[in-house]
Chains A and B, each alone.
Chain A
Amino acid sequence: MKSLVKEFTKGIIRENPTFVLVLGLCPTLAVSVSVANGIGMGVAATFVLLGSSMIVSLVKNFIPDKIRIPCFIVVIATFVTITELCLKAYSPVLDRALGIYVPLIVVNCIVLGRAEAFACKNNLASSFFDGLGMGVGFTLALVIISAIREFLGTGQVLGHTLIKGFEPPFVFGMPSGALLVIGLLLGLFNLIKDRKR
């Protein structure tokens, strides 16, 4: 039980996919314009991650080693397609906001990375918690970045104005603002790591 908790928590801070492993940045930067989009993307990716991790760990013994990557990709793509269809059916607004980045979850390095590095070597329960932890870590990172960007770019967070009279610099809603925020955040994380040592 204790080890399962560990599998879950490591993805959140110690091996945070975004800030520590620096994986899956493409969707992180692209959709983090608003917190709502960030949460949507995080949940979608977590769903794919959970599903694919579980299936991969279940069928790992039947997959020949040589063609394991294509097999993983098929599993992942299936879950991505399910997500795509669900989003289109139940939340067309979010689907439009996330655009091409929903199908692109399939090439998100976090998902394939977990299948290759963890799920194909571990049992169902640990894979489940590993996937969940990574997914939560990814979502948290997305929420942090998108909260910063939404507040600076529009002066609001989740549609609520925080400070009256604040004139938001629009640049943070633009691609260059995203790159600046992620660059400074990664630098900040490095600084904290250096200080701890």
Chain B
Amino acid sequence: MKDRLIVSGSPHIYTRESVSRIMWTVVVSLIPAGIAGVIIFGWDALWITLAAVGAAVSTELIFELAAGKKITVLDGSAVITGILLAFNLPAGVPLWLPVIGAVVSMVVGKLLFGGLGQNIFNPALVGRVFLMASWPKYMTTFTRPFCDTVASATPLAALKEGKVLEHIPYWDLFIGNHGGCIGEVCILALLIGAAILFIKGYISWQIPVTYIVTTGLFMYVFGGNGFFKGDWLFHILSGGLILGAFFMATDYVATPLTAKGQIIFGVGCGVLTAVIRIWGGYPEGVSYAILMMNAATPFIDRYTKNRIYGSK
């Protein structure tokens, strides 16, 4: 779809794809990570996801009824926002947190800008940084995998606090056997979902690949004691990088249209993420990096627009 959205002159080709079809496919592609989250963190993960989805959908419904607009809740985009928001929350949060987060996501992130296709920022991330600023206590208390209520730090948070890492094997990072947010821990499941989107051609390689490679490279160069000593694989596999790169940095609306613009976007996200991880106060920078690049997107678009044939 993305590569059929090129801003160009005619001729145009007709395709049977529709917005809601794409959106529901994205929902399906997120299911493996959701299942992994439930297996790892227990039923709480499911309740949180359902709460966020329900709140997001009903917010959109109520808003559209009140404003007398066309009802668009069935196009699946509100469902995606809810799922992505829940995937960015720790499994131990009280249930009102995802509800408020979803309402903020939908209202401030999307509906105030005019609804589907009009948003400037990724709605789920708007909700997430709002929650992060509002209730940092809940947002940074993570539960340990496979047992309830025991608090544990994420690998990145432990690194930031200067604790000596009991070395987590890369395999554990890959299958999600460590503390973290519901949907971000199991890289395997996320990659399965991403593969679905790639095969269907719904996301292009530019943003995810440049994002991940840039972050890895930057961490390799600056992330260790001295240059070229960083543990790049650890940084790629931990935190929300994979979830962010494949599912949130590829938001159709809030990212550049052209391939060149997308590469700039990906590199920008990567650099910002790495900078925040190394020098920032927060252990993780994926949400902030993507939001900042969302803000820069209109600018990137302007300078990377495809030339219409025959014009200057």
Contact surface of A with B, Cβ cutoff 8 Å: 167-172, 174, 176-177, 180
Q: Is the CB of A170 within 8 A of B134?
A: yes
B130 to chain A: which residues have CB within 8 Å? 169, 171
B147 to chain A: which residues have CB within 8 Å? none
Question: Within the complex, what minimum Cβ distance (angstroms) separates A33 from chain B?
Answer: 14
Q: Is the CB of B133 within 8 A of A171?
A: yes
A180 to chain B: which residues have CB within 8 Å? 108
A168 to chain B: which residues have CB within 8 Å? 134
Q: Is the CB of A169 within 8 A of B108?
A: no
Question: How far, in whole Å, are A176 and B133 apart by their CA atoms in the complex?
Answer: 10
Minimum CB distance partner of B97 in chain A: A167
- Is B136 in the interface zone, CB < 8 Å from A? yes
Q: Is the CB of A174 within 8 A of B108?
A: no
Q: Is the CB of B136 within 8 A of A170?
A: yes
Question: How far, in whole Å, are A169 and B131 apart by their CA atoms in the complex?
Answer: 8
A167 to chain B: which residues have CB within 8 Å? 135
Minimum CB distance partner of B134 in chain A: A169
Q: Is the CB of A170 within 8 A of B108?
A: no
A172 to chain B: which residues have CB within 8 Å? 134
Interface of chain B residues 65 through 114 with chain A (CB within 8 A): 100, 108
Question: How far, in whole Å, are A195 and B219 apart by their CA atoms in the complex?
Answer: 55
Minimum CB distance partner of B137 in chain A: A167
Question: How far, in whole Å, are A169 and B100 apart by their CA atoms in the complex?
Answer: 10
Question: How far, in whole Å, are A69 and B136 apart by their CA atoms in the complex?
Answer: 48
B133 to chain A: which residues have CB within 8 Å? 169-171, 174, 176-177
Question: Within the complex, what minimum Cβ distance (angstroms) separates A93 from chain B?
Answer: 26
Question: How far, in whole Å, are A167 and B136 apart by their CA atoms in the complex?
Answer: 12
Minimum CB distance partner of A174 in chain B: B133
Question: Within the complex, what minimum Cβ distance (angstroms) separates A53 from chain B?
Answer: 38
Minimum CB distance partner of A180 in chain B: B108
Contact surface of B with A, Cβ cutoff 8 Å: 100, 108, 130, 133-136
Minimum CB distance partner of B100 in chain A: A169
* Chain A to chain B contacts (Cβ below 8 Å), 6 pairs: A167-B135, A168-B134, A169-B100, A169-B134, A176-B133, A180-B108
Minimum CB distance partner of B112 in chain A: A187
B134 to chain A: which residues have CB within 8 Å? 168-172
Minimum CB distance partner of B96 in chain A: A167
| Most chain A CB neighbours (cut-off 10 Å) among B133, B134, B136 | B134
B135 to chain A: which residues have CB within 8 Å? 167, 169-170
Question: How far, in whole Å, are A177 and B130 apart by their CA atoms in the complex?
Answer: 9
Question: Within the complex, what minimum Cβ distance (angstroms) separates B114 from chain A?
Answer: 13
Minimum CB distance partner of A152 in chain B: B134
A174 to chain B: which residues have CB within 8 Å? 133
Question: Within the complex, what minimum Cβ distance (angstroms) separates B56 from chain A?
Answer: 18
Minimum CB distance partner of B138 in chain A: A167
What are the 10 A-B residue pairs with the smallest beta carbon separation, nearest first?
Answer: A169-B134, A171-B133, A171-B134, A170-B134, A171-B130, A174-B133, A170-B133, A169-B135, A167-B135, A176-B133
Minimum CB distance partner of B132 in chain A: A171
A170 to chain B: which residues have CB within 8 Å? 133-136
Minimum CB distance partner of A169 in chain B: B134
Question: How far, in whole Å, are A169 and B130 apart by their CA atoms in the complex?
Answer: 9
Question: How far, in whole Å, are A177 and B122 apart by their CA atoms in the complex?
Answer: 19
A171 to chain B: which residues have CB within 8 Å? 130, 133-134
B100 to chain A: which residues have CB within 8 Å? 169
Question: How far, in whole Å, are A7 and B55 apart by their CA atoms in the complex?
Answer: 48
Question: How far, in whole Å, are A151 and B238 apart by their CA atoms in the complex?
Answer: 37
B108 to chain A: which residues have CB within 8 Å? 180
Minimum CB distance partner of B133 in chain A: A171
Question: How far, in whole Å, are A158 and B256 apart by their CA atoms in the complex?
Answer: 47
Question: Within the complex, what minimum Cβ distance (angstroms) separates A192 from chain B?
Answer: 15
Question: Within the complex, what minimum Cβ distance (angstroms) separates B21 from chain A?
Answer: 34
Question: How far, in whole Å, are A171 and B135 apart by their CA atoms in the complex?
Answer: 8
Question: How far, in whole Å, are A169 and B96 apart by their CA atoms in the complex?
Answer: 12
Question: Within the complex, what minimum Cβ distance (angstroms) separates B104 from chain A?
Answer: 9
Question: How far, in whole Å, are A75 and B130 apart by their CA atoms in the complex?
Answer: 43
| Most chain B CB neighbours (cut-off 10 Å) among A170, A171, A172 | A171
Question: Within the complex, what minimum Cβ distance (angstroms) separates B116 from chain A?
Answer: 20
Question: How far, in whole Å, are A177 and B129 apart by their CA atoms in the complex?
Answer: 12
Question: Within the complex, what minimum Cβ distance (angstroms) separates A98 from chain B?
Answer: 24
Minimum CB distance partner of A177 in chain B: B133
Question: How far, in whole Å, are A124 and B133 apart by their CA atoms in the complex?
Answer: 49
Question: How far, in whole Å, are A36 and B100 apart by their CA atoms in the complex?
Answer: 29
Question: How far, in whole Å, are A176 and B134 apart by their CA atoms in the complex?
Answer: 11
| Most chain B CB neighbours (cut-off 10 Å) among A169, A172, A177 | A169
B136 to chain A: which residues have CB within 8 Å? 170
| Most chain A CB neighbours (cut-off 10 Å) among B100, B133, B135, B136 | B133
Question: Within the complex, what minimum Cβ distance (angstroms) separates B155 from chain A?
Answer: 26
Question: Within the complex, what minimum Cβ distance (angstroms) separates B93 from chain A?
Answer: 12
